[in-house]
Amino acid sequence: MKIIDWYILKKYFVTFFFTILTITTIAVVIDTSEKADDFVNSGLSTWKIITNYYVGFVPFIISMIFPLMNFIAVIYFTSRMAARSEMVAILAGGVRFNRVLKPYFVGALFLTVIFWLASQTWIPKANKIRTDFQAYYVDRNSSYQPNLRQTDNYYMRSDSNTYVALLYYDTSNKSAGGFTMEKVRDNKIYLNLRADRIQWDTAKKDWKLYNLVAHTMNGSRESAWKSRDSSVNLNIRPNELGHDEYLKDKLTSSQLREYIEREEIRGNEGLNIYKVERYHRDSTPFSILILTIMGAVISSRKVRGGSGLHLALGIVAAALFVVMDKFAITFSTKGNFPPILAAWVPNIIFSGVTLILYKKAPK
């Protein structure tokens, strides 16, 4: 790393952190004004609101704008350097264009790694703080009420040959009534369990059955037995009962993969939204590299419009990236578009565009 590399890196990071701090501050102010009534009605102190909501909200906002603010920051400080003929002087001094891009790549790689690590674990944990507050104090009139909701008539697959039915499920005490479980082998039921009530055991991490009646069938022979209480592993967790619109956001990547695998074993459909989220956590950090190189290539040329023209081009490119990403997600969640392609298509297309711009850039 030479002096010019550290010079570019310094401008890169200072501009990026200033940009993202400014936009995040604006977002917090707007969100506070919108939720002022909810905060007052919650009866929580200012410190409680900060620790129970904004500790999660700020990382959420940063994760949303991170790649695009990086793109805008690169375009801004590079176009300023080009306007002051710094780029012309560097290239005229015999430095190859590839070499000029080295500090951009190093800075982008550093931010990519940080953002990838955050996307896997840190941001989902922050989202849990934000969404729990949102669900309880803001969405009280919506269908998502984790502490008050009772849902009727559940029927699902616990695994490839086990089917579970619940007459109702109460999220407040994690209990259900009218429990039935059937195990199937060779398209025939060989075990039938019924219980008046089941309760989630937080210590053992399984379900406790009350007033259990079991029937086992082996050909023409059938046997039955009763028990006042017993434990059973249903391969179902309480947070999987009931619709949680925030579930994909607050599961860490390892938990999200496990959830998708369990739901596929159960034969459940509509998992593309979770699969897209899983692949997005890899593709979005990688987009930082692509957008950084694209921004450097676009804004390194000195033009009559200066920074204004470069920023306009950057905003248009960023808007196209977002629109393309949203369309791909919609086609995947509402149609049959493969989730992995939905997550990676914007990166693939913009990689090609970046390569074309790079070949046409003055060197």
Q: Does residue 46 lie within any of the structural domains?
A: yes
Residue range 99-103: mean pLDDT, rounded: 87
Task: Quick: pLDDT tens for 123-134.
Answer: 999 999 998 888
Per-residue model confidence (pLDDT) at position 25: 95
According to DSSP, the residues that pair with 232 across neighbouring strands are 207
Of the chain, the percentage scoring pLDDT greater than 70 comes to 92
In a shared domain, residues 310 and 212:
no
In a shared domain, residues 8 and 75:
yes
Q: Does residue 249 lie within any of the structural domains?
A: no
Of 118-127, 186-195, 201-210, 301-310, which range is least confident?
A: 301-310
Q: Does residue 258 lie within any of the structural domains?
A: no
In a shared domain, residues 232 and 295:
no
In a shared domain, residues 63 and 164:
no
Separation between Cα atoms, residue 281 and residue 311, nearest integer Å:
27
- 3-state SS assignment for residue 220: coil
DSSP structure class, residue 3: H
Q: How confident is the model at residue 144 (pLDDT cuts 50, 70, 90)?
A: very low
User: Average pLDDT over the chain, rounded to whole?
Assistant: 84
Per-residue model confidence (pLDDT) at position 270: 76
In a shared domain, residues 100 and 10:
yes
Per-residue model confidence (pLDDT) at position 61: 94
Per-residue model confidence (pLDDT) at position 149: 47
- 3-state SS assignment for residue 189: strand
In a shared domain, residues 179 and 121:
no
In a shared domain, residues 135 and 277:
yes
Verdict on whether the full-model pTM lies above 0.95? no
Per-residue model confidence (pLDDT) at position 233: 79
Q: Does residue 53 lie within any of the structural domains?
A: yes
Burial environment of residue 127 by CB neighbours within 10 A (0 to 12, 13 to 18, 19 or more): buried
Q: Does residue 216 lie within any of the structural domains?
A: yes
Task: Quick: pLDDT tens for 222-273.
Answer: 888 888 888 887 777 777 776 677 888 888 999 899 888 887 877 777 788 8
Per-residue model confidence (pLDDT) at position 145: 46
Phi-psi group of 242: left, alpha or beta (phi > 0 → left; psi -120 to 50 → alpha; rest → beta):
left
Per-residue model confidence (pLDDT) at position 253: 92
Q: How confident is the model at residue 321 (pLDDT cuts 50, 70, 90)?
A: confident
| Residue 314: pLDDT over 60 | yes
In a shared domain, residues 90 and 215:
no
In a shared domain, residues 332 and 216:
no
In total, how many domains does the chain have?
A: 2
Per-residue model confidence (pLDDT) at position 109: 95
Higher-pLDDT residue of 305, 281? 281
Q: How confident is the model at residue 147 (pLDDT cuts 50, 70, 90)?
A: very low
Q: Does residue 352 lie within any of the structural domains?
A: yes
- Domain end marker among 242, 259, 293: 242
Helix (H) or strand (E) run with residue 199 in it? strand 188-201
Task: Quick: pLDDT tens for 11-62.
Answer: 999 999 999 999 999 999 999 998 888 888 888 899 999 999 999 999 999 9
Q: Does residue 250 lie within any of the structural domains?
A: no
In a shared domain, residues 282 and 349:
yes
Q: How confident is the model at residue 82 (pLDDT cuts 50, 70, 90)?
A: confident
Per-residue model confidence (pLDDT) at position 114: 95
In a shared domain, residues 55 and 165:
no
Separation in Å, CA 339 to CA 5, 115, 144, 193: 38, 21, 26, 37
- Domain end marker among 227, 242, 257: 242
Per-residue model confidence (pLDDT) at position 303: 65
Q: Does residue 165 lie within any of the structural domains?
A: yes
Task: Quick: pLDDT tens for 149-198.
Answer: 445 677 777 777 888 888 888 776 788 888 888 888 888 888 888 888 88
**Domain span at residue 186?**
150-242
The residue to which tokens 């391969």 are assigned: 235
Burial environment of residue 161 by CB neighbours within 10 A (0 to 12, 13 to 18, 19 or more): middle
Per-residue model confidence (pLDDT) at position 362: 65
Per-residue model confidence (pLDDT) at position 304: 64
In a shared domain, residues 201 and 230:
yes
